[in-house]
Structure formats: structure tokens, C-alpha cells
Amino acid sequence: MDHRPNIILLAGPTASGKSKIAIQLAKSLNAEIINADSMQVYKELKILTSRPSSLDEKKVKHHLYGFVSVKKNFSTGNWIRLAKKKIDEIISKKKIPILVGGTGLYFNALTKGFVEIPKIPIKFRKKVRYLHQKEGQNKFFKRLLKIDRKALNYINKGDTQRTIRAYEVKKYTKKSLYEWIRKTKPIYNGNIFSKFFINPPRDLLLEKINLRVEKMFKSGVKKEVEKFVKLKIPQEHSANKSIGLREIKKYLDKEESLNHVKEVIKIRTRQYAKRQFTWARGKMTSWKMIYPKNYKEILNKIHN
């Protein structure tokens, strides 16, 4: 049996050209592509989330793109179950799966295991969020420590998201989030992965982000958002987190000018890219960082 890594993971900040690289790589390796981006799963948000084009999808087989309605919540747990099924199917055809995207949680779940916590009702979660909003992070973190002292060992006191999550998990399941995490085991042997993080020069990335935002508007993103607004999706649904949605709604409501909206979307996209870099520095230390000048150079490095 061939023990070389046979699942390729391709991560990187938004607008770094991951999809284009994945297509070229898939063509040269007889591979198929699986989406690892939490916003590109939604069928109604193709332009806003910069999903691969229909032409790109014809060049190479793509999986888990644009298949979920924005009316539904889609979690990391949903993704990992479907991704595993697709990975196993592709390997059974003696092909290589290439997982490409910018969602660190997805890659974390795939390489380190997914924490199987019982589903917590939306009503319960809303109450916790309201309490956090009312008290503020400092006071709420102290509240968490009263019921879960172990939180000190695995949560930074400034990490709002994890503080809220740890509190709701402990309150609802009576077990510390730390205990749930400790029980988690990886799905695959780590040796099966070949992991790459595309890390373009900052100036190049900023230029690409600007071009992407301009292209979105030329491609009809306003109409896409108009259709989304008519669906009246509940605010807590994950599709609402898509960058640009809130800003374009303001333009449609004539609250902001088009130029202002474009600038805000560019700023928010840059901030998101920065968070992706931060995640990579902290959670992707075993990944090979690639500092590309051109696509051929990246492809050669991955092949080697």
C-alpha cells in the first residue's frame, strides 16, 4: 500500500487565489476538489462569496459548493460528516482529494477531530448571548470561571466567542468544554495529509482584495443581495455572516453611497484576511507556508 500523503489541504487568506491553484493542481494530479469554506456552501450567495465559476467547475470535479439553502443553518459538524464521505469516495476511485478554503475550523476538525457536543437549543444560546452583552466580557468571563475553573487553562480572557461557547456548553451539558475537547480523536491518521498555506505578499493580497470587490459589483452582487433580503433569513442563521451582506443592504436602503459601501467591504475583507493569518500562526504551525510569486512556483513547490 502507498503510504504517501494522499489528501491535500490548501488553505490561505481570502482572495489569495486558492481556488485557481487548486484547479491547476487537480488537473495535473488527477484529483477532485472539496470546498472547505463555510460561506461557499450556500447556493444563493455565489457572487458575494466568490464561489468558483461554472466554467471552473467543468474543468475539474468540485464538491460541496453551493448546495445548502441560506434558510438552513450549516455547522462545522455538518461539513465534517459530508467532507469525510466525499474524501472516502474520491480515494476509493484512486484519485486525490484536494480540500480548499479559508475556514480554519473546518481544517481543524478534519486534522484534529471534531468535538461532538450535543446540540444546544437556539433559545438557550440567545439567552447566553444576551447575558454576555449585558455584562460585558470581563464580568462574563468571571461568571464562566465560577462554573468552569478549567476555562483558565484553554481560553484567553479576551476571547469573546470561546467564552460564550464554554459558558453555554457547561451550563447546558453540565460538562466543561475542555472535557469535550479532550475526548476528541482525529478522523484520519495525520500522515495522510499534505498541508499548505498560501501566504502571498501583503501588497499583492490587498490589490487582489480590491479587485475582487470591484468584480463582485460588476458581476451583479446587488441583485443577489436583493434576492437574499426578500427571503427574510433570521439574523442568527450563519449565512448572515457573509462579508458584504450588511453593507450592500445599507446601499439598497439608500443609507450609504456605493463608493462608501465598497470601501467598507474592502476594509472588512482585509480584517478577515488578518484574522485568517492569526489563526494560521496559532493553529497551523505544522502546515507548509508558501510565499508565492506566481502560480507555477506554487504548483512546483506542492508537487515537490
List, for residues 89-144, the tens digit of each pLDDT value: 999 999 999 999 999 999 999 999 998 888 899 899 999 999 999 999 999 999 99
**What is the structure's pLDDT at 101?**
97
Report the candidate in 286, 85, 73, 99 with the shortest Cα–Cα distance to residue 190: 286
Please tell me the predicted confidence (pLDDT) of residue 157: 87
pLDDT at 243: 97
What is the pLDDT, as a whole number, of residue 79?
97
Could you say which residues of the chain have pLDDT below 70?
1-5, 292-295
Angle formed at CA 109 by CA 119 and CA 145, multiple of 5 degrees:
60
Fold (CATH) for 7-114+185-303: Rossmann fold (3.40.50)
Q: What are phi and psi of 137, to 5 degrees?
A: -60, -45
Choose which CATH entry (3.40.50, 3.30.70, 1.10.3470, 1.10.20) describes domain 122-182: 1.10.20
Q: Where in the chain are the domains?
A: 7-114+185-303, 122-182
The SS3 of residue 256 is coil
Question: Look-up: residue for cell 447566553?
Answer: 128
The pLDDT assigned to 26 comes to 95
3-class SS string, 31-89: EEEEECCCCCCECCCCCCCCCCCHHHHHHCCEECCCCECCCCCCCHHHHHHHHHHHHHH
Rounded Cα distance between 191 and 7, Å, is 9
Dihedral angle sign, alpha carbons of residues 203, 209, 212, 218: negative
Q: Contact at 8 Å (CB) between 107 and 42?
A: no
Q: In which element (H, E) is residue 245 found?
A: helix 245-252
pLDDT at 181: 84
pLDDT at 276: 95
CA nearest to 199, candidates 59, 48, 18, 65? 18
CA distance 70 to 46: 11
Q: What is the DSSP string of 118-175?
A: PPPPHHHHHHHHHHHHHH-HHHHHHHHHHH-TTHHHH--TT-HHHHHHHHHHHHHHSS
